[in-house]
Structure 1
Amino acid sequence: MASTSSRALTLLSLLSAGGVIGAADLADRLEVSERTVRRDVDTLRELGYRIEPVKGSGGGYRLGADTRLPPLLFDEEQVVAIAVALQTAPAVLAGIGESAARALQTVRRVMPERLRGESDAFTVTTLANYWEFPAPPISADLVRDVGAAVRRRHVLRAEYRDDDGSPVRVRVEPHRLVVWAARWYLVAFDLESARWRVLRLDRLTAKSPTWVPFDERPLPTSDVGEFVQRAFDRGDMLAPWPCQGSVVLDVPPATAAMFAPGGAVVEFVSDRSCLLRMGAWSWTGLAGLYLTFAADMRQVEPAELRQAFAGIVRRLDEPSPPPG
């Protein structure tokens, strides 16, 4: 069992994350009894930390709003999280590489020697996935401006580039920023069309703040991530694969949007079918991607893709003899 002082610091670290944590949960994380947790809470109070009891079914302990914490109080897992987050952030946010590096150095300097070793063990190099073409890092200023509107619950005015590149003025209630496969999306309620939309953040240019508040609206689904994944009109662009094709599939647009690889584009045909444009490193590979949907297809373009499908059928009908 850890010493009282070490355990008390760990307890303070858990409470510093915010919110109410139950005594049973704290006891489980510290691997002690609830009685020991109460004693450790008393120890922290004697040291001047304001720890409030919260009664009721969701009760437990929480830090008082005016509690002053030590400059840094991290455990090993938090150190790993900070080191990885600060090193990978420039892969999705442009213009913060130097700031992230300086932040990591600042955190590292005030860490105890033991935790500094944990941090140094996680040196990360971010590479593009050979299977995906993620969007380039997005402007940190844009994320900050849109994020401020989301946080304050203020109406956002912006210009949004349509598929043909034409700017269109939009006025939305911004609900949530979502990052999926290094692509940034804004889930928002469009005040002009009176509908929920998913907007690609790299297509959006925020205007000056409106300072106009709005009330919360219930999302069409409780899972905001799934809402983004199933939005076929979320503004994705065809990835620059060497082989690109299009097929009309008898698959609902939302289903195709959710399961197509990154860099695919889904266009609405009907509630039960869609035009799916995708790319791959070879025509046969592209044909294989379409076959994974196990659906009827038509309007297969271009001719190279049709030939690839024919080649697959020929190989299945006339398998090559085994070697030797």
Structure 2
Amino acid sequence: MTTDTSPTSRALLALAELQANPGLTAAGLAASLGVSERAARRYVALLREAGVPVTSVRGPYGGYRVGRGVRLPPLVFGTDEALGLVMAVLDGHHDVRDRADPVASALDKLLRALPEPVAARAAAVRRATAAAPDRSAARPDPAVTATLVQACADHRPVRVRYRSESGREWDADVDAWAVVVRHGRWYLVCRRRDDEGVRTYRVDRVLAVLPLPGTSAPAPDVDPVALLEEHLAQGWEYGVDVLVEASLDAVARELPGGLGHLEAVDATTTRLVGSTSSPVWYAQQLAAVPVPFRVVGGPELRACVRDVAARLAAAVGVGREPAPPADR
């Protein structure tokens, strides 16, 4: 029970109780506030006069409920909760000092809503922390991301304008199935409507998105993350075909996910088939595999693997002429 007898204070407490306990009866609200049922109904009336959409339902399963459109009550965080939120933002978003950035602006509003002792410690962490950005992470445009997420939720097809890593741009009409975050990158898992092939597009490379009429074809009944992993290396510009000198199980353990489809050739050889928009990146991934491999298909990948091999060999002096003896 609060010691503040202000009707406004009691009305705000009543709002918090109704939001936390939908269906609360007048008797239950009165007990929570430590007032009479008549007073509880009066606080509900004050909320309604202020424009808060409080509805009531009669019967054994009735009670008060707060409808949509109400503004949230003041935020109440403990110090540990506030610091945890700031640290999470710093961990996943590194432009929090740029006041033009939408996440930085939202963090400003959060800190202004907190009590001064709590906000001061959280602000100190924000000022003093130098976050090192994850170079592999790529933050997409919020508006593009929101449109794609909504299309997935509504089972709507969309037209995306896409730019691959090689710089080529194209339009594609797709059935949007899911937006998946993997290792700091956002992906759209979808089906192209022209060839019915499953595609995985980096959302940060989607230049524009246009919702289309109609309904998307249903997504396969599998986990979206598994679907993403399975199709990351499909539908790109440069095909790859690699033989790895290890068993299928060994290659599956050692190979980074998303490089392509694996199939056993025999007990000691595995074939990797896929495609990529960046043969340089693909060659670098293969170079990290601790088993012998041979590129049998994909001239672009073959050239990039040759370049990587030459750089690694040069790093240890392989292929260089011996240096002349120093003058004495």
The TM-score bracket by the shorter chain reads: 0.5 to 0.7
The residue correspondences of 1:139-288 to structure 2 (distance < 5 A) are: 139-161=141-163, 165-207=167-209, 209-214=210-215, 217-221=218-222, 223-233=223-233, 248=244, 250-251=247-248, 256=252, 260-261=255-256, 266-268=259-261, 270=263, 273-274=271-272, 277=282, 279=284, 286-288=288-290
Larger Cα-atom Rg:
2
3-state SS, counterpart of residue 197 of structure 1: strand
Q: Residue 114 of structure 2 aligns with which residue? A: 111
For residue 219 of structure 1, what is the amino acid of its counterpart?
P
Query: Quick one: distance in 1 between partners of 2:118 and 2:18?
Result: 17
Deviations 1:174-202 (A, max 9, x none): 12222211211002232222243322223
1:40 is aligned, of 32, 35, 40, to: 32
Query: Quick one: distance in 1 between partners of 2:22 and 2:66?
Result: 13
Q: 1:153 to 1:96 in 2, by over 3 A?
A: farther
Alpha carbons 1:21, 1:60 under 8 Å: kept = no
Q: Residue 99 of structure 1 aligns with which residue? A: 102
Unaligned runs of 5+ in 1: 24-34, 238-245, 291-296, 309-324
Query: Quick one: distance in 2 between partners of 1:201 and 1:156?
Result: 13
Unaligned runs of 5+ in 2: 5-11, 48-53, 265-269, 275-281, 296-304, 314-328
| TM-score, normalised by the number of residues in structure 2 | 0.55
The residue correspondences of 1:119-138 to structure 2 (distance < 5 A) are: 119-120=122-123, 122-123=125-126, 124-129=129-134, 133-138=135-140
Alpha-carbon deviation of 1:170?
A: 1.2
3-state SS, counterpart of residue 193 of structure 1: coil
Alpha carbons 1:236, 1:265 under 8 Å: kept = no
Query: Quick one: distance in 2 between partners of 1:166 and 1:128?
Result: 27
Q: 1:79 to 1:156 in 2, by over 3 A?
A: same
Q: What is the CA RMSD across the aligned residues, in angstroms?
A: 5.3
The residue correspondences of 1:77-96 to structure 2 (distance < 5 A) are: 79-80=82-83, 82-84=85-87, 86-87=89-90, 90-91=93-94
For residue 192 of structure 1, what is the amino acid of its counterpart?
D
Query: Quick one: distance in 2 between partners of 1:217 and 1:42?
Result: 53
Alpha carbons 2:243, 2:271 under 8 Å: kept = no
Alpha-carbon deviation of 1:156?
A: 0.8
Alpha carbons 2:174, 2:191 under 8 Å: kept = yes
Q: 1:122 to 1:45 in 2, by over 3 A?
A: farther
Alpha-carbon deviation of 1:127?
A: 1.7
Greater alpha carbon shift after TM alignment, 158-167 vs 196-205 = 158-167
Identity, in percent, stands at 17
